[in-house]
Amino acid sequence: MATYLYETTGKPVRQFEIQQSMKDAPLTHHPESGEPIRRVITGGYGLMTKGGTGSSTAAAAPSSAHSCRAGGCGCA
């Protein structure tokens, strides 16, 4: 089971987490209150490889001192 972040679409916006299978479709209404909700896409940590299939060269993991404002990473 994965834990997903959801938020209400009305005012005030409230965020909460719900556990559900990765195979399940995103929820559109809160299971208890019936309020309209949407799944919030958040960043994660994963490995990316260069060269596609068969390559064992992994991209470097970001350091804790990384800052996109420094302009060196190309995120902006």
Pairing of strands 15-20, 37-39: unpaired
Average pLDDT by consecutive 10-residue portion of the chain (76 residues)?
93 93 95 94 75 51 54 59
**Residue ranges of domains in the chain:** 1-43
Q: Give pLDDT, residue 43.
A: 78
Report the pLDDT value the prediction gives residue 34, as an integer from 0 to 100.
93
The alpha carbons of the chain give a radius of gyration, in whole angstroms, of 18
